Amino acid sequence: MAELYPESLEKLQDLLGYKFGDSRLLFEALTHSSYAREASEYLRDNEQLEFLGDAVLNFIVSVRLADCFPEYPEGKLSLARARLVGTEYLATVAARLDLGRFIHLGRGEEKTGGRNNSGLLVNALEALLAAIYRDGGLPAARDFVERFVLPPDLAACADELVSPNYKSALQEYLHAKLMPAPRYRVVGEEGPEHRKTFVVEVTVGERGAARGKGATKKAAEQEAAKGLFDLLEREEQETEENAEL
């Protein structure tokens, strides 16, 4: 631990622009359970801090959204918060911080690519937030969220934050029906390079497929997910109606 401790912590603190009063909190936030299990001395892993960080993040984001969008009903605020605290979005935050290179992993996790595991990175990010909260209180935690998690212009992202997330809706529907996870693939590109349109196909086992177009791959995936979600819902409704006859 003596080798790893000072250098990695100093680099991350420089990146964050925050100096810990108790650097042991930062080390704990970066300690995966696999590393703690293999250590020759007792070490606390980051699971408890992750639990706390999730709650702190939800609170800070909720307050910020309520302040920014006072006219929004609870449903819209909940949807916007889900976007900002979801694994997909937080994984991009962790990637921007290059958090993977600072995490302490056991040999097994290291070999299986743990530093690029989005779930592991998000857990470390939440633990990092909790460590900042423990060390510097709510003002320090709020500053971290404002600087690294929330979009620079939150109000300008209003439409994007509350638009339906069909990929998530499809994923939840399939999970509830015990069906395979959806698979997305780019099947075509149209138009000139500077105004390209992507064509994405989504499939779910042998049940069905749908295609979507968009100016970005993500937009095309959303459109494809909407098409397949609507298709599966129609099929389910028709099955129920036929059963009643």
SS (H, E, C) 81-98: HHHHHCHHHHHHHHHHCC
Given 50, 126, 201, 223, which residue is catalytic? 126
How far, in Å, CA of 148 to CA of 178, rounded? 36
Give the integer Cα–Cα distance in Å for 188 and 130. Answer: 44
- Please say if 143 is a catalytic residue: no
Q: Are 49 and 130 in contact (CB under 8 A)?
A: yes
Tokens of 19: 């100096």
Task: For residue 80, give Cα distances in angstroms to 17, 61, 97, 145, 158.
Answer: 27, 9, 23, 15, 8
Instruction: Exactly one of 38, 47, 54, 143 is catalytic; name it.
Output: 54
Written as six digits, the tokens of 131 are: 């460590």
Whether 159 is a known active-site residue: answer no
d(CA 182, CA 229): 11
Catalytic residue numbers read 54, 126
